[in-house]
Structure 1
Amino acid sequence: MLRTVLRATVASGAIAAAVLAANPASAAESPAGPSPSDTAAISGLLASPGTAARLAHTKFPGAAPAAAHATRAAAEANTQIPVYEPTAAFIKGESDVPAALAYVASPAHLADGRAATVWAQPSQAGWKVVNVASGNDEQVHAAAAHGGYLLHEPQVNAWYSVKGDTVTVLDGAVSGVPAGTRVTLAAYRAELQKRYGDKLPGSTYDKTGAGGGYAVTAPDTSGDGSPAIALAVGGAAAAAAGGAFLLRRRSQHSE
């Protein structure tokens, strides 16, 4: 079943002052990514009849674009894009690893020819499809990352490339900061602390459930125990902070 998922986006340039600050950064540790065995498992999952059937039955509201043509629904098993999200430990200064793997994205198309993206996450039983999202945001941003890993801040739907101690803004429309702007990892962490420091798990904000609250999603692990999800926030909380809403269509059930 389709569900409209509201994601808050930053309507002002409030992030600008912080991201432009020239704070020194220490050597950053890279987050763990999918292993070769994970990659093989994801390929098998994407090429499976179950994934093909899910894509064939997924429909997004509205008419398909004129350029779209009916075709066999399928995912591109050989294109796998790891997407990372900031962790509470990094925001609090307890870890120098900026993010954790949230999901692996693969471009796909539906039976009506529309572009879609399959999200895969590890579970105790192996990798599984957890979502089919409209469009190809991850593929577009990964192409602009130029060798860095793809960092998504879901609370404000912001996208970045991280390479060493440098964070590069990929989606300037969200933050008001021009795409291509480079900032230090320390400056980015400082901005995250301002925005979320009092809303992390265990905070009064979290305990009272204000605006939907923040929570770290219970880590679902693969065989090597790698966390699948880092940090999540309710859309109502971000909206209360003055954000505008961005809609992206998702097919939300898990296989």
Structure 2
Amino acid sequence: MSASALLSVAGMAHAAPAKDPLPADIPDYQAALEAVKSTTVRDAVCRFLSTPVPTGADASVQTIPETPEPCQDLPAFTINDPVALNEITPGFVAGTVLPLPTEAIKLTYLVSSLNATVNGRSTSVMLAPTQGGGWHLAALRDGDSDATYAGKATAGTLIFTEPQVRGWYQLKLNTVEPLNDQARQGLGGRASMSLGDYQKLVKARYADKLPGSEYDTKGYSSGYGPRHNADEASFSTPLLAGSGAALALAGGAVALYRRRRADTA
């Protein structure tokens, strides 16, 4: 919490709390706050949490009936303020840009978690930038690891993900450090390495799988790109994806289906 601002008018007045500043590195952050607090997003979260995750190997789609009050029978919850979700850039992967933080990492989504589990499930709310400004619902995911890791950023550090392996890293100046097991495996078990050395690793892993590559055009993968796994389309329509299930919204129809295991390079 920020310190209180003391106001004095003809003597000492009551202390008034100062507002925390909006993050300077996130454009249109006020719009993002309004989005995660909106009825539309809250109802989407409730519908997601009210729907059992499909089990077994069956990939059949379950249609979710429309309900006028989707949150009515759920425990109370709030959606936390969103934080930046940064990912490595295609140019960094291709080796066409220098290994500099401003070239290697970019903001792709905002992510929020819930303040409590609901029906035994935690959830991440993902927002994507809207063309022309603002933010809109892009996805919901089972679990809150995205928001947890993204929220570890501090002054002087940058948190980012390598989405193909679900690896989370911390960048201090020019040093990359792993934050989870996937990232440690991604660095070959090393505790840290330079951003330049990390670029060599991801270039070897993905440079031949970028959009437009033979690997991509022949349909082996969706290619390299933010959150582009083999079973996920672009977020032009909201895709509510869980670690074991996805809830897709299109044209007002809602369906829950079990996600296929994504291919990674």
> What TM-score does the superposition give when structure 2 sets the normalisation length?
0.62
Deviation of the 1:186 alpha carbon: 0.4
8 Å CA contact 2:143, 2:243 repeated in 1: no
Provide the rounded CA distance (Å) in 2 between the counterparts of 1:56 and 1:231: 23
Provide the rounded CA distance (Å) in 1 between the counterparts of 2:151 and 2:188: 17
Provide the rounded CA distance (Å) in 2 between the counterparts of 1:173 and 1:91: 18
Q: Deviations over 1:12-45 (max 9, x none)?
A: xxxxxxxxxxxxxxxxxxxx9412xx11001111
8 Å CA contact 1:132, 1:252 repeated in 2: no
Higher RCO structure, 1 or 2 (CA under 8 Å, sep 6+): 1
Alignment counterpart, residue 251 of structure 1, candidates 247, 254, 262: 247
Alignment counterpart, residue 61 of structure 1, candidates 38, 48, 52: 52
Deviation of the 1:165 alpha carbon: 0.9
* Amino acid across the alignment from 1:61: P
Residue 84 of structure 1 corresponds to 86
CA 1:179–1:159 in structure 2 vs 1: closer, same or farther (change >3 Å)?
Answer: farther
RMSD: 3.3
Please list, as runs of the form range in 1=range in 2, the aligned pairs for 1:31-180 lying within 5 A after superposition.
33-35=25-27, 38-59=28-49, 61=52, 71-76=75-80, 79-96=81-98, 97-108=103-114, 109=116, 111-112=118-119, 114-124=121-131, 126-147=134-155, 148-173=157-182, 175-176=184-185
* Amino acid across the alignment from 2:204: K
> Which sections of structure 1, spanning at least 5 residues, go unmatched?
1-31, 63-69, 217-229, 237-245
The secondary structure found in structure 1 opposite 2:111 is strand
* Amino acid across the alignment from 2:108: A
The secondary structure found in structure 1 opposite 2:30 is helix
8 Å CA contact 2:141, 2:243 repeated in 1: no
* Amino acid across the alignment from 2:113: P
8 Å CA contact 1:55, 1:73 repeated in 2: no
Provide the rounded CA distance (Å) in 1 between the counterparts of 2:47 and 2:209: 38
* Amino acid across the alignment from 2:135: W
Deviation of the 1:185 alpha carbon: 0.3
How many equivalent residue pairs? 192
* Amino acid across the alignment from 2:122: A
The secondary structure found in structure 1 opposite 2:113 is strand
> Which sections of structure 2, spanning at least 5 residues, go unmatched?
1-23, 54-73, 233-241, 253-265
Provide the rounded CA distance (Å) in 2 between the counterparts of 1:113 and 1:248: 15
Residue 207 of structure 1 corresponds to 217
* Amino acid across the alignment from 1:101: L
Report the identity percentage.
24
* Amino acid across the alignment from 2:45: L
The secondary structure found in structure 2 opposite 1:232 is coil
* Amino acid across the alignment from 1:137: S
Deviation of the 1:106 alpha carbon: 0.7
8 Å CA contact 2:184, 2:191 repeated in 1: no
The secondary structure found in structure 1 opposite 2:209 is coil
The secondary structure found in structure 2 opposite 1:188 is helix
Q: Deviations over 1:120-158 (max 9, x none)?
A: 011126311111111110232235455422211111111
Residue 67 of structure 1 corresponds to none
* Amino acid across the alignment from 2:230: G
> What TM-score does the superposition give when structure 1 sets the normalisation length?
0.64
